[in-house]
């Protein structure tokens, strides 16, 4: 079940959903979603100096991104086919009976701006700001300004509260974030996989020359 604007206001009033800083509900609340604003910090991938990323080798994750901080009133220019990490300004705390879906904004989508590539689901019990996987699939560079409405949250009520909230799980990798979080997928790989020697690719067989 998706919460309406009335439900969202009531959950916030009761303290079941909390934000820091508190969004302006009169401007950011729609019929069944709540707009979130863009923070000043971004992480830009260092593709010019990083040869590749091996998800089973933590050492290949070192320095894969560079932190960029944009002052208020100044734009971050996102070029076509560019992919960056951003984060919303508001830190959110969810109860165990609510999950959240991150959706883009229609006006930005019409410019080719996508705010999440796959991670659009926020688990119940989450606490912290939400990292955005922002890309420009359009044909033109687009300016993004800190403080602008960048995405919207849709709140979904569970049939029953989760037994274990996101921040209570030992395997949670992205709780309590306040800045864009890089991928920690390497923590999921097994040590055997990390140390395993893989066969080198075989050289193609040379064709024998046939006598005419």
Active site residues: 133
Compute CA 26 distance to the chain's CA centroid, rounded to the nearest angstrom: 26
**What residues contact residue 42 under an 8 Å CB cut-off, 6+ apart?**
67, 68, 69, 70, 76, 84, 85, 86, 180
Rounded Cα–Cα distance for residues 52 and 61 (Å):
9
Compute CA 206 distance to the chain's CA centroid, rounded to the nearest angstrom: 48
**CB–CB of 112/208 below 8 Å?**
no
- 84 class by beta-carbon count within 10 Å (0-12 exposed, 13-18 middle, 19+ buried): buried
**What residues contact residue 75 under an 8 Å CB cut-off, 6+ apart?**
143, 144, 145
């Amino acid at each position: 079940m998706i919460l309406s604007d009335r439900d969202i206001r009531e959950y916030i009033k009761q303290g079941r959903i909390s934000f820091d800083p508190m969004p302006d509900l009169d401007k950011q609340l729609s019929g069944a979603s709540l707009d979130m604003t863009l923070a000043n910090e971004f992480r830009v991938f260092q593709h010019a100096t990083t040869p590749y990323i091996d998800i089973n080798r933590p050492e290949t994750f070192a320095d894969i991104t560079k932190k960029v901080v944009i002052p208020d009133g100044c734009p971050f220019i996102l070029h076509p086919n560019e992919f960056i990490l951003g984060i919303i300004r508001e830190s959110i705390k969810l109860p165990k009976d609510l999950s959240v879906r991150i959706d883009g904004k229609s006006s930005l989508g019409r410019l080719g701006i996508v705010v999440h590539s796959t991670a659009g689901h926020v688990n119940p019990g989450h606490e912290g700001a939400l990292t955005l996987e922002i890309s420009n699939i359009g044909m033109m560079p687009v300016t993004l300004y800190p403080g602008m409405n960048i995405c919207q949250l849709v709140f979904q009520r569970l049939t029953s509260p989760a037994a274990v909230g996101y921040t209570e799980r030992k395997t949670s990798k992205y709780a309590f974030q306040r800045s864009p979080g890089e991928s920690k997928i390497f923590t999921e790989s097994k040590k055997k996989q990390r140390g395993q020697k893989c066969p080198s690719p075989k050289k193609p067989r040379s064709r024998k020359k046939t006598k005419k």
